[in-house]
């Protein structure tokens, strides 16, 4: 069944070693002023110097801004205020998901009035217009897929903390540039956490109640690419070919999450990240196995109608399990094989406990209350979300 769906892509995707410096492939104008939003680790690295020189040779004056950690409203407003007084032609973000989200929000805020918090979902009372400065996203980690999504996530930490998005279909970066040579120095712990984020996004969107033939196609390619490369990459971190495979899977995860939605892992990772210092990838990674173990139990206990969201999710998980095993398994054995792989990753890559980040039993009710099942194929009740969080305390 094809059904009724829409699917939004970037206008341009560039992939390949060294593509960062191949400016003519992704900058649509010759000369002007660029706002470069990045992390200190890129700016202070020889690649950062080389990149700014290359932009200069190409006729661009560069104004650089660095972002530390997940972007706050203050970070976005500070950079926006500086750029509003200057005629800026293009914004380029080079960095992890936080840097890309900051760049996306700045490109959206420069042409409009107000503060970014005015436009955040569930926080502000203004609707994004879609106006923006042309924006190019160049990831240096393989995780969030922000280079493909239409939202920039902005956080405030603490008891009244939040993690909310400024969102509009026009905010999908005009170009995404995947250069695996930028990612080869990403350390093991970060590679594992970012990888678990990308895999969660692929799996949640694959089994989502909003999945479409287009999202299934990309999610399947991303999932199978991921399972054949990830363990090899964790043992050979500087391998550019393996990095390129995970980078593409991560990019697909951004497209599929933006178009098919996510599930309960991200439904809880959001509030966890707002209330504590747990990095997003670690939050997803730690919940992944138990979330899908509980999902499968719920579907098995309740039974599933063929063709319904739960039945389709069961079929898809079984198909993925057979792919992992390399031979056709029964639906039950296929699902169990998938869970076995997730459990193995949990142990092998030492996914953290929530208590490692100061999370306690008294935080369970508040976090579950702020969480949700999103488009998970079976809804998790408040008590079931508490049970899931408790598994990882
Ligand atoms: Fe994520």
pLDDT in tens, 215-226: 999 999 999 999
Is residue 142 situated within a structural domain?
yes
Residue 306, pLDDT above cutoff 80? no
Q: Which residue among 131, 163, 182 closes a domain?
A: 182
357 CA to middle of ligand 1, Å? 18
Written as one string, the DSSP assignment of 44-96 is: TSHHHHHHHHHHHHTTEEEEEEE--SSPPHHHHHHHHHHHHTS---EEEEEES
Spell out the long-range contacts of 49-58 with Cβ–Cβ below 8 A and sequence spacing 24 or more.
50/21, 51/20, 51/21, 51/94, 54/21, 54/23, 55/23, 58/23, 58/24, 58/27, 58/30, 58/31
376 CA to middle of ligand 1, Å? 14
Residue 305: what pLDDT?
A: 64
Domain shared by 35 and 172, yes or no: yes
Helix H or strand E encompassing 143: none
55 CA to middle of ligand 1, Å? 31
pLDDT tier at 143 (50, 70, 90 boundaries)?
Answer: confident
Domain shared by 120 and 230, yes or no: no
Which residues neighbour 119 within 8 Å (Cβ) at sequence distance 6 or greater? 108, 109, 112, 126, 127, 128, 166
Domain shared by 158 and 268, yes or no: no
Residue 307: what pLDDT?
A: 64
Residue 303, pLDDT above cutoff 90? no
221 CA to middle of ligand 1, Å? 18
Domain shared by 296 and 256, yes or no: yes
CB atoms inside a 10 Å sphere around CB 57: 9
Per the structure, how many domains does the chain have? 2
pLDDT tier at 159 (50, 70, 90 boundaries)?
Answer: confident
Q: Which residue among 155, 182, 209 closes a domain?
A: 182
Mean pLDDT for the stretch of residues 159-163: 80
Instruction: Measure the CA–CA gap between 86 and 185, rounded to whole angstroms.
Output: 34
54 CA to middle of ligand 1, Å? 32
pLDDT digits (tens, 9 = 90+) for 76-101: 999 999 999 899 999 999 999 999 99
143 CA to middle of ligand 1, Å? 7
Domain shared by 162 and 249, yes or no: no
363 CA to middle of ligand 1, Å? 21
Q: Which domain holds residue 208?
A: 188-391
Domain shared by 19 and 52, yes or no: yes
22 CA to middle of ligand 1, Å? 29
49 CA to middle of ligand 1, Å? 30
Domain shared by 169 and 251, yes or no: no
CB atoms inside a 10 Å sphere around CB 322: 19
Domain shared by 306 and 346, yes or no: yes
191 CA to middle of ligand 1, Å? 14
199 CA to middle of ligand 1, Å? 9
Is residue 2 situated within a structural domain?
no
**CATH code, 99:** 3.40.50.1970
156 CA to middle of ligand 1, Å? 17
pLDDT tier at 304 (50, 70, 90 boundaries)?
Answer: low
Computed over every residue of the chain, the mean pLDDT equals: 95
pLDDT tier at 185 (50, 70, 90 boundaries)?
Answer: confident
Domain shared by 158 and 271, yes or no: no
Is residue 6 situated within a structural domain?
no
pLDDT tier at 158 (50, 70, 90 boundaries)?
Answer: confident
228 CA to middle of ligand 1, Å? 21
pLDDT digits (tens, 9 = 90+) for 244-301: 999 999 999 999 999 999 999 999 998 998 888 899 999 999 999 999 999 999 998 8
């Amino acid at each position: 069944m094809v059904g009724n769906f829409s699917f939004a892509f970037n206008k341009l995707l560039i992939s390949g070693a060294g593509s960062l410096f191949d400016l003519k492939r992704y900058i649509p104008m010759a000369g002007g002023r660029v706002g470069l939003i990045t992390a200190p680790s890129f700016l202070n690295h020889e690649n950062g110097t080389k990149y700014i020189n290359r932009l200069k040779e190409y006729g661009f004056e560069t104004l650089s801004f660095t972002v530390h950690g997940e972007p706050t409203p203050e970070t976005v407003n500070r950079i926006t205020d500086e750029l509003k007084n200057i005629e800026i032609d293009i914004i380029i973000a080079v960095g992890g998901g936080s840097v890309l989200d900051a760049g996306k929000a700045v490109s959206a805020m420069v042409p409009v009035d107000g503060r970014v918090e005015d436009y955040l979902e569930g926080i502000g009372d203004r609707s994004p217009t879609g106006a923006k400065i042309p924006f190019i996203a160049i990831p240096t980690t393989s995780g969030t897929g922000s280079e493909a999504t239409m939202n920039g996530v902005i956080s405030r930490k603490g008891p009244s903390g939040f993690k909310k998005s400024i969102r509009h279909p026009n905010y999908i970066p005009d170009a995404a540039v995947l250069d695996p040579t930028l990612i080869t120095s990403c350390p093991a712990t970060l590679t594992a956490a970012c990888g678990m984020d990308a895999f969660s996004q692929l799996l949640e969107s694959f089994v989502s109640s909003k999945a479409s033939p287009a999202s299934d196609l990309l999610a399947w390619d991303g999932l199978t690419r991921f399972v054949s490369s990830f363990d090899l990459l964790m043992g050979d971190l500087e391998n550019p070919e393996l990095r390129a495979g995970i980078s593409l899977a991560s990019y697909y995860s951004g497209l599929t999450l933006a178009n098919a939605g996510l599930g309960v892992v991200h439904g809880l990772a959001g509030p966890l990240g707002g209330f504590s210092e747990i990095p997003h990838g670690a939050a997803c990674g730690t919940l992944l196995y138990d979330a899908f173990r509980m999902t499968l139990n719920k579907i098995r206990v309740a039974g599933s109608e063929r063709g319904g969201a739960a039945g389709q999710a069961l079929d898809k998980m079984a198909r993925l399990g057979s792919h992992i095993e390399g031979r056709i398994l029964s639906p039950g054995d296929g699902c169990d094989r998938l869970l076995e792989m997730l459990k193995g990753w949990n142990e092998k890559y030492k996914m953290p406990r929530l208590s490692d980040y100061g999370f306690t039993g008294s935080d369970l009710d508040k976090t579950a209350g702020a969480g949700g099942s999103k488009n998970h194929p079976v809804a998790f009740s408040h008590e079931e979300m508490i049970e899931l969080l408790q598994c990882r305390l």
